[in-house]
Amino acid sequence: MAYPDLKEKLDAIETELRRLGYLEGEIQPVEKVTSAFGYGQMPFEHWLANVFLPNARPTVESGDLPASSSVATAAIRNFDGNNDADQLISMLSEFDERIAQVAKSSHTRR
């Protein structure tokens, strides 16, 4: 089952990443990371553009969603003091909330 509302949220997140200058050109294939949110491997905004987005899109399309998402929490920590990222953080929070809603409704149906 695909989730068009989550696809729209990802489109909005991508647009905001581009507006902030964190993403330019085509989205590249997923970069491999060995730590949560690419910590110690790459800047968080690079992780959003090169790991989160290319992983999230096919996951949303397939409907095989995780039980939870905490990308907004990581964004709050990483963008602390960067008022330009407030809208992006809000969008990521909405994404996390929707993932939680889907997981809750899936769990209730079982």
Residuewise pLDDT in 10s, the chain (110 residues): 668 899 999 999 999 999 999 999 988 878 888 888 988 899 999 999 999 999 999 999 999 899 999 999 999 999 999 999 999 999 999 999 999 999 888 765 54
Do residues 2 and 63 touch, judged by C-beta distance below 8 A?
Answer: yes
The total of structural domains in the chain comes to 1
Task: Print the domain residue range for 9.
Answer: 4-25+33-109
pTM recorded for the entire structure? 0.90
CATH number of the domain that 46 lies in?
1.20.1440
Q: Token pair for residue 58? A: 């096919």
**Among all chains, which residue has been given the structure tokens 């949560």?**
36
